[in-house]
Structure 1
Amino acid sequence: MTFVQLIDCRTDRFDEMNRLMDTWVEQTKGKRTATHAVVGKDRSDASHYIEIVEFPSYEEAMRNSGLAETDRIFRDMIALCEETPTFTDLDVVWDEPLNPAVAREFFEEAGRSDPESLFERFTEDYVDHDPSNPGDLRVDAAREQYEGWRRAFEFTFRIDDQIAQDDRVCTRWTWAGRHTGDFLGIAATGQSVVMTGTTWHRFRDGKICEGWWEYDRAGLMEQLGAFGE
């Protein structure tokens, strides 16, 4: 079970403490078990800081605490604080990254939802970057392009992998479809086709505001017989 530790402290020497933590990160390479750390400053009290440190489990957190480097840094950190920091130990009982969930829903529903419902996940100023287009598309043009794919294919996406960082989510996917309508001048063949690709989505206020697409369009055209024998 994922474990989180909250370290609550007060200091007017945050820059020194920050350098101290940089030293700890450098000294514990290959040994530390912490996987994620966030430091927040109280907006109503500039000397009040809370650090949130994530570990794979409580046991891994205890291993981290047992490092000699951690013990030294902790003693140095106390010296920089107005009072002894307090620690709160938390077992994580719910953890749902919200942006990846929205991206996942988009791909899961892309082959069955109506365009208006699907594009409710996008901002009004959404920009679409696709190397197959002569230029970037705004949201209305991106919706029209999607409708064209829906007219040409019955399709679904399978999500193969997904990672997230800050306001961006990357999804590696496999697209499987059946050619049921005209596509770039190729009349419906009834052919079953498969294509792989990767999409980066950027989020703002919980909605997708920008997208970058890379996919095997040449492989798709080959499956449709566009290149002949």
Structure 2
Amino acid sequence: MTPEQIVRTFFEEVRSGHNPDYAINLMADQVLAHQMISEEDVTVIRTPHDYADHVREMIEAYGTFSVDIQEMLAQGNKVYVRWKQVGTHVGEVDGYSPTGLPVIEIASAVYRIEEEKIKEYWIQIDRSGIQKQLERNKLSK
């Protein structure tokens, strides 16, 4: 598979929540996850199992959500993806009790593929936008 096909399959199967455990087929045993946060960049090591658990946590918080790839660009062994995720606030998130209202996440990442597996990625998420939605939803309930 090409790097673009690997990342597209990752989104369709794993990131979407349809089949989180499929991460074992698409991710290296240890993946460097660079979380690009404006106040402080953090790099964590993720395993396919860790990532599958992370997706299950998103399902607990936002129910069955949709992920729409809005842009995907590939160059060599790197693939850029920007997506929109829409879920429903059904579980506690950052101390906010469930409201049953929609929460939208806009995010992007660059994935580096090595030996047909995701080996490293750099991710940016509009965390402030999510926080504002949670606060607004709390006030409207």
| TM-score of the pair, normalised by structure 2 | 0.80
Identity %: 25
- 2:12 pairs with one of 89, 105, 108: 108
State how 1:8-87 maps to structure 2 within 5 Å: none
CA distance in 2, matches of 1:178, 1:216: 17
Distance 1:101 1:176 in 2: 23
1: distance between equivalents of 2:129 and 2:103?
9
Q: Deviations over 1:170-201 (max 9, x none)?
A: 01111111111111222211111212111110
Root mean square deviation of aligned Cα: 2.4
* TM-score (norm: length of structure 1): 0.52
Structure 1 residues 210 and 134: alpha-carbon distance in aligned structure 2, compared to 1, 3 A threshold: closer
For residue 211 of structure 1, report the CA deviation from its aligned partner.
Answer: 1.2
Structure 1: where are the runs of 5+ without partners?
1-96
**Alignment gaps of 5+ in structure 2:** none
**Contact 1:108/1:156 (CA < 8 Å) preserved in 2?**
no
Greater RCO, CA 8 A, separation 6+: 2
Matched, 1:188 2:93: no
Equivalence map 1:90-101=2 (5 Å): 98-101=2-5
Kindly indicate whether the alpha-carbon contact (under 8 Å) linking 1:162 and 1:170 is maintained by their aligned counterparts in 2.
Answer: yes
Give 2:116's aligned residue.
206
Equivalent residue for 1:147, pick from 56, 78, 93: 56
Larger radius of gyration: 1
After the TM superposition, which segments of 4 or more aligned residues of structure 1 sit over 6 Å from their partners?
A: 226-229
**SS of residue matched to 1:117:** helix
Question: One-letter code of the match for 2:11?
Answer: F
